[in-house]
Amino acid sequence: MATPSKTERRNVCLNRRARFEYEILDVFEAGLVLRGSEVKSLRDGKATLDDAWVGFDATGRPTLFNAHIAMFPQANRYNHETTATRPLLLHRAEVIKLRQIVREKGYTLVPLQLYFLGGWCKLEFAVGRGKKLHDKRASIREQEQKREVARALRDGR
């Protein structure tokens, strides 16, 4: 097996609802503190970010909560907990900036995708504001219009 290059990006899982539910304002990339069985399970693509969220634990460290990483069958009794909290690796200045942003009313940290960059597992998350119902309807209308235009161009109208 060839060694992955440092710029090769291999997606593990994507939070498709995030861009629909939230207005994305700023995107960040962070490393994750993982156990060996978690990494092996991620390499198999056995993870979901559906109910996951990013917040700060009791010590003030940014953490990924409620992300589901399936158990690795060969890990046996040394396996990990599937929805354990996983600390994020960020620079101190980024942590301070994120804490200040989250203190503002209505902002939250939303995980967007989990991927491998070279040999390292990374989490892309965003600062977002929850969309209202009318914003979601506008997003749906916009998507349908793009689909119709693409369909018309394809059919040669």
The per-residue pLDDT for range 57-104, each reduced to its tens digit, is 999 899 999 988 888 878 778 787 878 889 999 999 999 999 998 888
Class of domain 9-131: mainly beta
Per-residue model confidence as pLDDT tens digits over 19-55: 888 888 999 999 999 888 888 888 888 888 988 999 9
Q: What is the pLDDT of residue 71?
A: 84
The 10 Å Cβ neighbour count of residue 62 is 22
pLDDT at 116: 92
Contact 26, 127 (CB under 8 A): yes
